[in-house]
Amino acid sequence: MAEALFAQFLTGFSIVAILLIISLGLAVIFGVMRVINMAHGDFIMVGAYVAFVMQEYFKLNLFWGIPAAFLVLAVIGMTVEWGLIRQLYGRPLETLLATWGVSVVLQQGIRLIFGPELLYVRAPLLLDGDFAVPGSNLPFPYFRLFIIVLALGLLLLTYWILYRTDVGMRVRAVNQNRPMAEVLGIDTRRIDRFVFAFGSGLAGVAGTILAPIKTVSPGMGFPYAVDSYMVIVLGGVGRLVGTVAGASVIGESETVLAFLYNNVIAKLLVFTLIVLVIRVFPQGLFTLQRR
pLDDT at res. 206: 94
pLDDT at res. 135: 66
pLDDT at res. 217: 93
Q: Is the pLDDT of residue 57 over 70?
A: yes
pLDDT band at 137 (very low <50, low <70, confident <90, very high): confident
CA distance 271 to 260: 17
> What is the helix, strand, coil percentage profile of the chain, to 5?
75, 5, 25
pLDDT at res. 230: 86
Higher-scoring residue by pLDDT: 76, 11: 76
CA distance 99 to 97: 6
Q: Is the pLDDT of residue 6 over 90?
A: no
Segment holding 141, helix H or strand E: strand 139-141
Q: Which domains are present in the chain?
A: 2-119+140-280 (1.10.3470)
pLDDT at res. 214: 87
Higher-scoring residue by pLDDT: 36, 158: 158
42, 83, 168 from 76: Cα distances, Å: 11, 10, 22
Mean pLDDT of the region 174-193: 89
CA distance 15 to 242: 17
Q: Is the pLDDT of residue 275 over 90?
A: no
Cβ proximity of 73 and 236 under 8 Å: no
Cβ proximity of 170 and 186 under 8 Å: yes
Share of the chain above pLDDT 70, in %: 96
For all residues of the chain together, what is the average pLDDT? Answer: 88
At 93-125, the pLDDT tens digits run: 888 889 999 999 999 999 999 998 899 999 999
Mean pLDDT of the region 47-69: 95
Mean pLDDT of the region 160-187: 90
At 230-263, the pLDDT tens digits run: 888 888 765 788 888 888 888 888 888 888 888 8
- pTM of this prediction? 0.91
Mean pLDDT of the region 58-69: 94
Higher-scoring residue by pLDDT: 284, 87: 87
pLDDT at res. 52: 96
Mean pLDDT of the region 22-36: 82
Cβ proximity of 210 and 45 under 8 Å: no
Q: Is the pLDDT of residue 30 over 60?
A: yes
